[in-house]
Structure 1
């Protein structure tokens, strides 16, 4: 008996697939809608390696990927994995979608005889088929992307995934690495989109070789057109009369004629998926140029499809949904309108966000050089962010009323996996900074981020420098926590040995700190809380400091503001500043009285000092984009001889 004839996914589904009662409106044999055929065939097309779906609800996406999993297990015998946003989501998908499919699609019993058995080959985490396996995993933990080799990977509800999985990278890259070595590697990624600028699928679609939309021939002019929502300021799209949804019709963007949903359903079988470049496909198998000439099949394709294409939703119902959302928006509640844009139009929602203008901050830069402490700066604190190839450090001077000055921004190139490389950071944190009064100030407290790949190296570094007030910190995942949060003793795995309760790890209330920082950045004049910037800071510093937006998010506890970072943005300067704020609180500077500040001012910048007798250095330090000019970058930097130490009340010393 020979091998079975090869089938596309749409052909296999037409022959074998079945809609289960638990997960479908109607239990019945599968019959694809016209717009689903090319989508399914693109999944089974071995020339296409990445397929992205930016979609609305009610277009059958879940059923298509269920059919694909059955197809790859039974027809292609390929190893697969599907990641859901969380472990709970994964378990729910297995129980309500996958297991009913394996039960009701009869042909699956030939490759999955344990479909009804309690068996090690049939668990919530994997389904072992004949000649292949399907892994089902949550996407929160980096470990769920390790130690598996697959041909095909699925990521469902991609916009609900973390953009950076435990600081090991984005989930799509981590998942794609599991297909390396496959003869026909395939990634299928789909989601209802969420917030513009923060949407995972939006970034994915931007990388696609072609972005396709479903087109039909207009019943009147016969031109190829997509269904479009339109809007008040658009002459095409959905229109209705006298606030009556039942009168809705679609205006053709080419001829301006109206046609109804019934008209659409008479022509929808004559269709094309057309890209922005004019290239097109009818079946997801063969691709053509604008004039019909065959073109090479793209390796990465993206599809956009929204609710109006599906007969499961009436056009009148779509209009009613919009009208209800628009009415609620008049009261200031955009929640329903946002849901309409995301789940019905299949588009990202553009949120009104709070952020600080980086250019406005840069324009406020003052005429003092880096590594010089201006008048008013009395205590130095530092925040350290650990990256895979460098340490990033921002040093702030704190004065009366927590007025602050950016004193230095340094990138120290190093390999944090090598403990000897931490000596570069250690030397830098012992730097003496010239005050305009003529004194030299040292960094009084520092906070080092312990997240990411180098946790134990960071623990050990801080463990050995407790007396110098170098703290191990980590951002608190809970909202609304104080900047100086709770601490706990952590074991340190150092040189193969475990030091029990070796270091105290402090949690930093990052969202609280970012709220405070955001407010302080709005203060334009000198005084309590104001923040000052040196003329020598690069533009990248301001862009990183203002990288995150504050948006209003719906949570189980009600509406809450959350700080989010757009994909691709760097925010190391922000993180370092947050850690420096924590260091300042560890010194209790936020509790200083006027008398305490007066005493400190008398020591650091005595009023009778002649500023012109000891001018500050006039040669600015090398900007961070030329780090090799700084001794710490070359590895030959040594701390200056420590000056005389003058003890002082307040829990720390100032050295000059």
Structure 2
């Protein structure tokens, strides 16, 4: 007797009851493999932004920030990228992209996830103001995470259980939170604000990433931050070790692709409203009204070879901020306002240009002492000297 197909099994009488058509349909649906979906595709289809958590409530649209598409899709299961590094300006949509990834995992690719904020208190605040609205406002997630008020919900301030996985939220200042559980997915937000050590147990980024090592090639790590001080910035160090991608956009006049640089934003002194971006190829002045089309036609291009081929690095300044957010005029005004204050210029460089700040100041004491050295013949005591003495500092410590 030959094997029966699924439809023949149903029709041969193994399932003889009313509703057989519905059962056959469910059977076929169960045999169909899960659709291939990217994080950006999921966000466009399922993500809803709550009024209390977003300036633009309603359905999420990747087209609003098209530069985030490739970053989100690198976090998708179908991408070979394992580590995504994003060195960014403030308010360019990075946190919402990370939340889209969280929603995608809960709905499409469940597994253990660790989300780290600079402190435990910030993790709690993020849970209340970002994660809870993410779940409550998106129907695809609402039924997968039980309300915190239900018995045995597995839903607390810093822990969200769902079928097939769990989201643990913690702070970089808590070593206990960082080593609490193995995690296939790790979201490290604002890493430059992390302490140097988590409860004296070591670098928080290293401790967190160690949670994912058992997942080998199936892991995903997302590091995002505005940068801080040159030489101390974690995100700059990670970006420089990556393939260093920049978002290239076309000049509306000549079509030449280029990434946006602050020195090419020009305006009349004292009149930031005259700010225009000047093409590096044809020098044509580009108005703010052209930015939307430029962003839609943009593409990420790598400028280096990563030390780890599984790491992709992205850099984005606020010059790319979409229409209605931070304008070129506002950037020009902020730069003029910051003049005369190192702290204001530092904030501008970090949060608007997404670049590190180089500390300046007087030479340290050892430099001034070195500059005042004099030459004397070895073994002689200068006139007026009473005795010879010497000292040395052993960088290895005492033996």
TM-score interval (norm. to shorter): 0.7 to 0.9
Measured after TM superposition, the shift of residue 116 of structure 1 is 5.7
Name the CA distance, whole Å, in 2 between partners of 1:124 and 1:118. Answer: 15
Give the secondary structure class of the aligned counterpart of 2:196. Answer: coil
Query: In the alignment, is residue 309 of structure 1 matched against residue 342 of structure 2?
Result: no
Question: What displacement does 1:78 show?
Answer: 1.8
Cα distance between partner residues in 2 of 1:220 and 1:249: 14
Contact 2:148 2:154 in 1 (8 A): no
Of residues 298, 317, 327 in structure 2, which corresponds to 1:271?
298
- Deviation per CA, 1:332-361: give whole Å up to 9, x if none: x32222211111111111222456387887
Residues 216, 267 of structure 1: 8 Å contact kept: yes
Match of 2:336 in 1: 323
**Structure-2 separation of matches of 1:354 and 1:155:** 35
* TM-score, normalization by structure 1: 0.51
Q: Distance in 1 between matches of 2:191 and 2:333?
A: 28
CA contact (8 A) 2:89 2:317 kept: yes
What CA distance in whole angstroms lies between the structure 1 residues aligned with 2:212 and 2:299?
30
- Offset from partner CA, 1:540-589 (integer Å, 9 cap, x none): x4xxxxxxxxxxxxxxxxxxxxxxxxxxxxxx66xx8xxxxxxxxxxxxx
Instruction: Output the CA distance in 2 between the equivalents of 1:172 and 1:163.
Output: 10
CA distance in 1, matches of 2:211, 2:123: 18
Partner-residue secondary structure (3-state), 1:165: coil
CA distance in 2 between counterparts of 1:72 and 1:348 reads: 32
Residue 308 (structure 1) shift: 1.8
Q: Deviations over 1:219-264 (max 9, x none)?
A: 122111111111xxxxxx1011252222111111122111111122
Q: Of the two structures, which has the highest relative contact order with CA contacts closer than 8 Å and spacing of 6 or more? A: 2
Matched, 1:98 2:131: yes
> Does the 8 Å CA contact 1:46/1:184 hold for their aligned counterparts?
no
Alignment of 1:138-537 (within 5 A): 138-182=171-215, 183-208=217-242, 210-230=243-263, 237-277=264-304, 298-311=309-322, 312-326=325-339, 329=340, 333-353=341-361, 356=364, 405-406=390-391, 409=394
Looking at secondary structure, tell me which structure has more helix per residue.
Answer: 2
Q: Residue 21 of structure 1 aligns to a residue in which SS?
A: coil
Count of residue pairs the alignment pairs up: 353
The verdict on how the C-alpha distance between 1:310 and 1:168 changes in structure 2, with shifts beyond 3 A counting, is same
State how far apart, in whole Å, the 2-side matches of 1:203 and 1:278 are. Answer: 14
| Deviation at residue 94 of structure 1 after TM alignment | 0.5
Partner of 1:43: 75
Q: Secondary structure at the match of 1:92?
A: helix
Distance in 2 of aligned mates of 1:122 and 1:138: 18
User: How far has the Cα of 1:131 moved from its partner?
Assistant: 0.7
Distance 1:223 1:276 in 2: 17
Question: Which residue of 20, 38, 54 corresponds with 1:8?
Answer: 38
TM-score of the pair, normalised by structure 2: 0.81
For structure 1, the residue ranges without an aligned partner over 5 or more in a row are 231-236, 280-296, 369-373, 378-404, 410-540, 542-571, 577-631, 633-656
> Is the contact made by 2:73 and 2:79 (CA closer than 8 Å) also made in structure 1?
no
What are the superposed Cα offsets for residues 458-500 of structure 1, whole Å, 9 maximum, x if unpaired? Answer: xxxxxxxxxxxxxxxxxxxxxxxxxxxxxxxxxxxxxxxxxxx
| C-alpha contact (below 8 Å) 1:73/1:79 kept by paired residues | no
Secondary structure of the residue that 1:346 maps to in structure 2?
coil
Deviation (angstroms), 1:50: 0.8
Please provide the CA RMSD for this pair.
Answer: 2.7
Q: Distance in 2 between matches of 1:113 and 1:141?
A: 26
Q: Which runs of 5+ in 2 are unaligned?
A: 1-29, 380-385
Question: Equivalents in 2 of 1:191, 1:78: separation in Å?
Answer: 24
Change (3 A) 1:357 1:184: farther
| 1:27 to 2:57 alignment | yes
Distance 1:157 1:128 in 2: 24
* Aligned residue number for residue 16 of structure 2: none
Deviation at 1:26, TM superposition (A): 2.4
Larger strand percent? 1
Could you say what secondary structure the match of 1:247 adopts?
A: strand
Deviation at 1:119, TM superposition (A): 4.7
Matches of residues 74-89 of structure 1 in structure 2 within 5 Å?
74-89=107-122
Distance 1:207 1:176 in 2: 16
Supply the distance in 2 between the matched residues of 1:407 and 1:52 (Cα, whole angstroms).
43
Structure with larger Rg: 1
1:493-541 deviation digits (Å, cap 9, x = unpaired): xxxxxxxxxxxxxxxxxxxxxxxxxxxxxxxxxxxxxxxxxxxxxxxx4
**Whole-angstrom distance in 1 between the partners of 2:168 and 2:270:** 50
Is the 2:107–2:141 contact (alpha carbons within 8 Å) kept by the matching residues of 1?
yes
Cα distance in structure 2, aligned partners of 1:53 and 1:190 = 5
Evaluate the alpha carbon distance shift between residue 167 and residue 75 of structure 1 in structure 2; reply closer, same or farther with a 3 A threshold: same
CA distance in 1 between counterparts of 2:214 and 2:79 reads: 15
